[in-house]
A and B are shown apart, each in its own frame.
Chain A
Amino acid sequence: MGGDADWRRPPYLFTVPHPENAVIVPAIILVVVGVWLMSAYNGLIALRNQAANALKQIDVQLKRRHDLIPNLISSVQAAMDFEKDTLQAVIAARNSAIQASAGFDPQHVKQVAAAETQLTGALGKFMAVVEAYPDLKATANVKSLQEELSSTENKVGFARQLYNDTATLYNTKQQQFPTNLVAGMAGASIAELWEIEDAAERAVPKVEFRRGA
């Protein structure tokens, strides 16, 4: 520091006492920004893949549910041929659900969800009817099938929950500042949530007592 020429210096906010700092400081800032960009980008990509994977999991569980239904029907058919409507409703709902799930991708979540909601409603009604027949319920086969069915329903529900949680996280991340600056670069788009649109699924299935006396 010379000190003799200080009065001539304009009052700069940042003086550069060491010229090498003029290179080092911007370089550090650049590196920090670069690291942040990388981690934000990678975070978005990871979330997108997690959401896609979670959606795939729903698909897996739905297929499993579709495969279970014929077993279920055949094991109770003999005892329940007076409940033809309920059984028919389950079969019809299953067939349309299988058709809907043929085009399963994030863009068609809504259609598949609607068809599956129908099936869930039909199965719920069916389970409630089975509850009303104690001798049918007591059959070992039906009992284990009931456990399988409720477990499958749970699996569908939990897969859906995981997908919705992951998709919400992904959506929030890509909209929040400052990650939203990277969203375009990472090709992020809003993932559709798997919503229960039908009021029937929320409602408790009504049990009809039409016991052949």
Chain B
Amino acid sequence: MTSKPTLNLFEQQAANRRKTWWLVAGFLLFFLWLGLGGDLALWLATKDMVAPAGEAVYRHSFPWGGTVLGLAAFFLTMDVLRNGGRRVVKQVGAEPLINPQTDQERQLLNVVEEMSIAAGLPMPTVYVVPEADPNAFVTGTKPGEAHLAVTTGLLEVLNRDELQAVVAHEMGHVKNEDTRLMTIIAGLGGAILLVRDLMIRTTFHRRGGSRREGKGGNPLVVIVLVVWVLSWILAPVIIRLMAMAVSRGREYLADAMAAQFTRNPAALADALAKIESHHAPTTSISNGVAHLCIVDPTGRIANERQGRWSDIFATHPPMAIRVSRLRAMAFQASKRDGS
């Protein structure tokens, strides 16, 4: 990771976009390989087979494996995209904030409206989660239909500028359509797990039956097959690693977007530090939305350390790096204004 501390916020945004683009492309390629690798091996094995007289030989000319995996991913993703947002909010036990009663609630609505203006997005539906742990998250797979939830703990702990910065981070997720991206990635990952289970079951069934192999065939077929089977064995770990890497990239991007919307990166840095120090174990916010929260609600140790290996399974980048990047943006801005 080459994090240059001198990048201004627009440069950081561009760098983040490039990085996540490559990650997503890699993820899709891996998915394609899982789907089509077996088809490739079968095609290679059967394309040159000579049919014995009077018999038809099966030639694998249509990628059935890839099609099955693709369809599974499509339907899983569509279901979540259709009604995932509302489901998550309901599951967390959040109350929609329609008629603000207290000054605090009015302020929250004002701040959200300010940030949706800054982002050029429609106003999201705002929810308050009765929860002491300061946190916030956003769901909804269309920019016009976002659901933004904050905990009561967050309202207690932060001042107006810091609350604004946190809301701006969440609006950054909406603007980048991160919910949709992460939903699609989750859908692809889910499809891989589903098909993998299916395959394990059917291969064990077939064990007793006819296994015609050992025709001494093409070594290329064997190599493709072995690599492909290995990929499937390692798939759960690999997709999780890649999904988390994408998620961390999007966190940095949302931080940089928040800096653009508020033009006050120092406020987000302060907010992150405060949230970190007031951290309490959460009960209502589940793992499913962890990647859309302002900080990881499960409070994994990984987020506090910054090592090569501790953070590869984390949804969020190490807090210290996030804060230092934001401070760098603030420094850049102050240098420009001060001249």
Contact = CB atoms under 8 A, between A and B. Distances in A.
Interface in B107-160: 107, 110-111, 113-115, 117-120
A61 B117 contact: yes
B261 interface: yes
Contact of A158 (B103, B106, B107, B115): B115
A50 B117 contact: no
Interface stretch (A80-88, A125-133, A146-154): A146-154
Contacts of B103: 143-144, 147
Interface in A38-96: 50, 53-54, 57, 61
Interface residues of B, number: 15
A203 to B, nearest CB: 14
Contacts of B113: 151, 155
B114 A151 contact: yes
B263 A161 contact: yes
Contacts of B118: 158-159, 161-162
A158 to B, nearest CB: 4
Contacts of A161: 118, 263
A155 B120 contact: no
Contacts of A151: 107, 110-111, 113-114
Contacts of A158: 114-115, 117-118, 261
Given A143-B103, A144-B103, A147-B103, A57 B110 contact: no
A117 interface: no
B110 A54 contact: no
Interface size class of A (residues with CB under 8 A): 10 to 19
Interface-central residue, A143, A148, A155, by most chain B CB under 10 Å:
A155
Q: Is the interface of A mostly helix, strand, loop or mixed?
A: helix
A158 B113 CA distance: 10
Nearest to B261: A158
Nearest to B120: A162
A50 B261 CA distance: 16
B114 A154 contact: yes
A148 B114 CA distance: 11
Interface in A141-198: 143-144, 147-148, 151, 154-155, 158-159, 161-162, 165-166
A147 B110 contact: yes
Contacts of B111: 151
Given A54-B120, A158-B261, A162-B120, A147 B114 contact: no
A158 B106 CA distance: 18
B106 A162 contact: no
A161 B9 CA distance: 15
A166 B114 CA distance: 17
B263 A144 contact: no
A162 B110 contact: no
A154 B110 CA distance: 9
Contacts of B263: 161
Contacts of B110: 147-148, 151, 154
Contacts of B106: 144, 147
Interface of A: 50, 53-54, 57, 61, 143-144, 147-148, 151, 154-155, 158-159, 161-162, 165-166
Interface of B: 103, 106-107, 110-111, 113-115, 117-120, 260-261, 263
Given A144-B106, A147-B103, 5 more contacts: A143-B103, A147-B110, A154-B114, A155-B117, A158-B114
A-B CB proximity, top 3 nearest: A158-B118, A151-B110, A158-B117
27 contacts: A50-B120, A53-B120, A54-B120, A57-B117, A143-B103, A144-B103, A144-B106, A147-B106, A147-B107, A147-B110, A148-B110, A151-B110, A151-B113, A151-B114, A154-B114, A155-B114, A158-B117, A158-B118, A158-B261, A159-B117, A159-B118, A161-B118, A161-B263, A162-B117, A162-B118, A162-B120, A166-B120
